[in-house]
Amino acid sequence: MRTFRVAVAFVAVLAAGTAVAAGQGTVPTVTVTAGATAVSATPTPVAPGATRFEFVADGTGGTVFLAAVKPGRTIDEVTAALRANPDAALELLDIVASASLTPGSRRAVTVDVQAGRTYLLINDAGKENPAEWIVAPLATGGTPTGATAPAADATVTMRDLRFGGAKALPRSGTVRVRNVGWAPHFALAAPLRTSARKGAVARALLRGSDRALGRLLNFRNSLELTGVVTRGAVADQEVTFGKRGRYVLVCFFEGHNAQGMFRFVNVR
């Protein structure tokens, strides 16, 4: 069974998505800088309302999470749980957005910051040992901005063990990703090789055959549509696909691919 930690590492290796620096109108931008020993945001405090978070890797790679602490829990409780057992920590927090970064890369995601909730930033800094992960509070508060996210170019939903929504995604634009099911998920968009047939890809995903998938999918040019997010997360992902064509969206978290969580889409 793939754990939260292993799934994060898997996405970090396979998905090196490139963000588009698109204008967001009145939506404010907060830069989250993730380094080898720290994670920080500027400017703060972050006021309630739609907010564009630009995750930036400062000389190192890894996965950065924006999370909201569940009501009745504290940051200290969440931090202790993360360091002891990241899977158990999922019961204490909501992962609103996450991004896997390569050294020097950046990724932009727009989410709605809610008044009255406690937020934190988690940076695994590319390390498998959760005791070495960096956890920092995100200062929030002030007058709500009233900002709302612009309309997305396409919407993808993750409900239980299925993908739904648009079957055509923009090569360069914004994709709204919604986790409306009960489980954590991530979405990797992998291009099909020229000769690959959908039936063969589906069989390989259901079997979890790494060898067959390597022949059928071009993981080197895959894109992380979204990192791991939990139930209720809604995030607008700014993405640029490497090329147009046939892709498959896959969630490998906890072996969800073997339970049918994949969907073929076209990038135009």
Structure confidence by residue, pLDDT tens digits, 50-85: 999 999 999 889 999 999 999 999 999 999 999 999
3 in a domain, yes or no? Answer: no
Convert the pLDDT of each residue in 85-142 to its tens digit: 988 899 999 999 999 999 999 999 999 999 999 999 999 999 999 999 999 999 999 9
* % of the chain beyond a pLDDT of 70: 91
148 in a domain, yes or no? Answer: no
d(CA 30, CA 33): 10
* 197 and 241, same domain (yes or no): yes
Bridge partners of 188?
Answer: 224, 250
* 130 and 21, same domain (yes or no): yes
* 183 and 133, same domain (yes or no): no
- Give the model's pLDDT for residue 22: 36
- Give the model's pLDDT for residue 59: 85
Phi and psi at residue 105, to the nearest 5°: -90, 170
d(CA 209, CA 118): 41
11 in a domain, yes or no? Answer: no
Bridge partners of 222?
Answer: none
- Give the model's pLDDT for residue 6: 45
* 35 and 132, same domain (yes or no): yes
Q: How many CA atoms lie within 13 A of 221 on its CB side?
A: 15
162 in a domain, yes or no? Answer: yes
Residue 234 confidence (pLDDT) above 60: yes
22 in a domain, yes or no? Answer: yes
2 in a domain, yes or no? Answer: no
* 21 and 110, same domain (yes or no): yes
147 in a domain, yes or no? Answer: no
Residue 5 confidence (pLDDT) above 70: no
Is omega for the bond preceding 45 within 30 degrees of 0, making it cis?
Answer: yes
* 31 and 133, same domain (yes or no): yes
Does residue 49 or residue 6 have the better pLDDT?
A: 49
Residue 10 confidence (pLDDT) above 80: no
* 134 and 36, same domain (yes or no): yes
* 21 and 128, same domain (yes or no): yes
Last residue of a domain, one of 138, 162, 194: 138
Last residue of a domain, one of 114, 138, 162: 138
d(CA 177, CA 226): 7
d(CA 154, CA 111): 16
- The SS3 call for residue 252 is coil
* 115 and 212, same domain (yes or no): no
* 200 and 225, same domain (yes or no): yes
4 in a domain, yes or no? Answer: no
Is omega for the bond preceding 144 within 30 degrees of 0, making it cis?
Answer: no
Residue 231 confidence (pLDDT) above 80: yes
Overall number of domains in the chain:
2
In terms of phi and psi (left: phi > 0; alpha: psi -120 to 50; beta: otherwise), the region of 203 is alpha
Beta strands 93-101; 134-138: pairing state: unpaired
Q: Which of 192, 187, 193 is nearest to 154 (CA)?
A: 187
- The CATH code of the domain that includes 227 is 2.60.40.420
Last residue of a domain, one of 112, 138, 164: 138
* 158 and 119, same domain (yes or no): no
Give me the domain span that covers residue 66. 16-138
Quick one: tokens of 100? 């896997």
* 20 and 134, same domain (yes or no): yes
User: Each residue of 77-107: b (16+ CB within 10 Å) or e?
Assistant: ebbebbeeebeebbebbbbbbbbbbbeebbb
